[in-house]
Amino acid sequence: MSQAFDVVVIGGGPGGYIAAIRAAQLGFKVACIDEWKNAAGGPAPGGTCTNVGCIPSKALLQSSEHFEHANHHFADHGISTGKVTMDVAKMVGRKDAVVKQNNDGILYLFKKNKVTFFHGRGSFVAAADGGYQIKVAGAAEEVITGKQVVVATGSNARALPGVPFDEEHVLSNDGALRIGAVPKKLALIGSGVIGLEMGSVWRRLGADVTILEGLPTFLGAVDEQIAKEAKKAFDKQGLKIELGVKVGEIKTGKKGVNVAYTNAKGEAVSLDVDKLIVSIGRVPNTIGLNAEAVGLQLDERGAIVVDGDCKTNLPGVWAVGDVVRGPMLAHKAEEEGVAVAERMAGQHGHVNFNTIPWVIYTSPEIAWVGRTEQQLKADGVAYKAGTFPFLANGRARALGDTTGMVKFLADAKTDEILGVHIVGPMASELISEAVVAMEFKASAEDIARICHAHPSLSEATKEAALAVDKRTLNF
Ligand X SMILES: Cc1cc2nc3c(=O)[nH]c(=O)nc-3n(C[C@H](O)[C@H](O)[C@H](O)COP(=O)(O)OP(=O)(O)OC[C@H]3O[C@@H](n4cnc5c(N)ncnc54)[C@H](O)[C@@H]3O)c2cc1C
8 touching ligand X, by CB under 6 A: no
Q: Three-state secondary structure along the chain?
A: CCCEEEEEEECCCHHHHHHHHHHHHCCCCEEEEECCECCCCCECCCHHHHHHCHHHHHHHHHHHHHHHHHHHCHHHHCCCCCCCCCCHHHHHHHHHHHHHHHHHHHHHHHHHCCCEEEEEEEEEEEEECCEEEEEEEECCEEEEEEEEEEECCCEEECCECCECCCCCCEECHHHHCCCCCCCCEEEEECCCHHHHHHHHHHHHCCCEEEEECCCCCCCCCCCHHHHHHHHHHHHHHCCEEECCCEEEEEEECCCCEEEEEECCCCCEEEEEECEEEECCCEEECCCCCCHHHCCCCECCCCCECCCCCCECCCCCEEECHHHCCCCCCHHHHHHHHHHHHHHHCCCCCCCCHHHCCEEECCCCEEEEEECCHHHHHHCCCCEEEEEEEHHHCHHHHHHCCCCCEEEEEEECCCCEEEEEEEEECCHHHHHHHHHHHHHCCCEHHHHHCCCCCCCCCHHHHHHHHHHHCCCCCCC
60 touching ligand X, by CB under 6 A: no
367 touching ligand X, by CB under 6 A: no
| Minimum separation from the CB atom of position 452 to ligand X (A) | 26
| Minimum separation from the CB atom of position 267 to ligand X (A) | 31
Alpha-carbon span 249 to 261, nearest angstrom: 7
43 touching ligand X, by CB under 6 A: no
146 touching ligand X, by CB under 6 A: no
16 touching ligand X, by CB under 6 A: yes
15 touching ligand X, by CB under 6 A: yes
35 touching ligand X, by CB under 6 A: yes
User: Is the CB of 16 or the CB of 386 nearer to ligand X?
Assistant: 16
Instruction: Judge whether 210 and 203 are in contact, CB under 8 Å.
Output: no
User: Is the CB of 173 or the CB of 362 nearer to ligand X?
Assistant: 173
CA separation, residue 257 to residues 163, 186, 191, 250, 266 (Å): 11, 9, 19, 7, 22
- Give the residue, chosen from 7, 8, 11, 275, that forms a contact with ligand X under the rule CB under 6 A: 11
Task: Please give the residues from 249 up to 268 whose contact with ligand X meets the rule CB under 6 A.
Answer: none
User: Is the CB of 53 or the CB of 389 nearer to ligand X?
Assistant: 53
| Minimum separation from the CB atom of position 268 to ligand X (A) | 31
| Minimum separation from the CB atom of position 259 to ligand X (A) | 21
| Minimum separation from the CB atom of position 152 to ligand X (A) | 5
- Pick from 225, 237, 164, 230: which is nearest to 191 by CA? 230
Q: Residue type for 457, please?
A: L
331 touching ligand X, by CB under 6 A: yes
User: Is the CB of 13 or the CB of 199 nearer to ligand X?
Assistant: 13
Alpha-carbon span 102 to 75, nearest angstrom: 35
- Give the residue, chosen from 12, 195, 199, 370, that forms a contact with ligand X under the rule CB under 6 A: 12
Region of 146-154, 206-214, 267-275, 434-442 interacting with ligand X (CB under 6 A): 146-154
Instruction: Judge whether 421 and 429 are in contact, CB under 8 Å.
Output: no
Tell me how many residues contact ligand X (CB under 6 A). Answer: 38
| Minimum separation from the CB atom of position 269 to ligand X (A) | 27
User: Is the CB of 52 or the CB of 410 nearer to ligand X?
Assistant: 52
- Which string of x and - marks every residue 267-286 that binds ligand X (by CB under 6 A)? ------------------x-
| Minimum separation from the CB atom of position 321 to ligand X (A) | 2
User: Is the CB of 38 or the CB of 270 nearer to ligand X?
Assistant: 38
User: Is the CB of 152 or the CB of 179 nearer to ligand X?
Assistant: 152
User: Is the CB of 34 or the CB of 342 nearer to ligand X?
Assistant: 34
| Minimum separation from the CB atom of position 343 to ligand X (A) | 17
121 touching ligand X, by CB under 6 A: yes
Alpha-carbon span 199 to 70, nearest angstrom: 19
- Give the residue, chosen from 43, 195, 256, 321, that forms a contact with ligand X under the rule CB under 6 A: 321
454 flagged as catalytic: yes
408 touching ligand X, by CB under 6 A: no
155 touching ligand X, by CB under 6 A: yes
- Give the residue, chosen from 196, 329, 340, 468, that forms a contact with ligand X under the rule CB under 6 A: 329
49 touching ligand X, by CB under 6 A: yes
| Minimum separation from the CB atom of position 394 to ligand X (A) | 29
User: Is the CB of 167 or the CB of 249 nearer to ligand X?
Assistant: 167
240 touching ligand X, by CB under 6 A: no
| Torsion sign (Cα): 6, 10, 12, 13 | negative
Residues that bind ligand X (CB under 6 A): 10-16, 33-36, 47-49, 53-54, 57, 121-123, 152-155, 173, 194, 285, 288-289, 321-323, 328-331, 333, 361
Q: Which residues are identified as catalytic?
A: 454
